[in-house]
Chain A
Amino acid sequence: DQQVKQNSPSLSVQEGRISILNCDYTNSMFDYFLWYKKYPAEGPTFLISISSIKDKNEDGRFTVFLNKSAKHLSLHIVPSQPGDSAVYFCAASGEETSGSRLTFGEGTQLTVNP
């Protein structure tokens, strides 16, 4: 049972344009959501997060939107830069989740073309 799903394995955008990465979840007990970026041969790096009491969180070029009724979140990167090319994982946790474990999506490979 895949509770967190990223339906797009890959996304390609032009430098300077917007990148939109999507994530869907099924567990209504999730109340905290995170995005991680991963370069090859490195560990995932925390990017941005959002609590379920909010519908938007912004940090520089990165904005995460949360639509609780649709159980959907998205990460917007504006403007996209070649250095943003990486695999992006969304993750979710809930107060009821023992150990505050994270449930990850499968990841989306973002390629930003110069």
Chain B
Amino acid sequence: DAGITQSPRHKVTETGTPVTLRCHQTENHRYMYWYRQDPGHGLRLIHYSYGVKDTDKGEVSDGYSVSRSKTEDFLLTLESATSSQTSVYFCAIREFETQYFGPGTRLLVL
């Protein structure tokens, strides 16, 4: 257990509305990541952070933004949700060479 929680765990929203997902960790890890999981694609990196206020894009960053104002929290925002962003979102932290994942947030955009 890497001490990672995600909230909410489930969310249904409508197209065009903003959505923010939260990842919280308790063990002071420097690196945090946001992935999405879709059938046939495995997990794909959206954004990651290498410290407070330090973030960078992943392979599927369009339509997403992130913020990290304190070590323990990494926020993922969908500025204007679209149906293509219906997915399961996982947060992860890095410890040495290994990433450990949170329980996930299932998001449905109608």
| Chain A residues close to B by CB (< 8 Å) | 4, 6, 32, 34, 36, 41-46, 49, 51, 89, 91, 93, 98-102, 104-107
Contact = CB atoms under 8 A, between A and B. Distances in A.
Contacts of B56: 98-99
A93 B43 contact: no
Interface in B58-110: 58, 90, 94, 97-104
A105 B43 CA distance: 8
* Interface of chain B: mostly helix, strand, loop or mixed: strand
- Using C-beta atoms within 8 Å of the partner chain, give the interface range for chain B: 20 to 34
B96 to A, nearest CB: 9
A52 to B, nearest CB: 11
Given A36-B101, A106-B40, A107-B42, 20 more contacts: A32-B97, A34-B97, A34-B99, A42-B103, A42-B104, A43-B101, A43-B103, A44-B101, A46-B98, A89-B43, A91-B43, A99-B31, A100-B94, A100-B97, A101-B33, A101-B45, A101-B48, A104-B35, A105-B42, A106-B41
A46 B31 contact: no
B22 interface: no
Interface of B: 4, 31, 33, 35, 40-45, 48, 50, 56, 58, 90, 94, 97-104
A100 B31 contact: yes
Nearest to A32: B97
A36 B37 CA distance: 13
A46 B95 CA distance: 12
Most buried by B among A6, A43, A46, A106: A43
A42 to B, nearest CB: 6
A101 B56 CA distance: 11
A93 B97 CA distance: 9
Contacts of B33: 99, 101
Nearest to B45: A101
Given A43-B101, A46-B98, A104 B31 contact: no
B20 to A, nearest CB: 19
Contacts of B31: 99-100
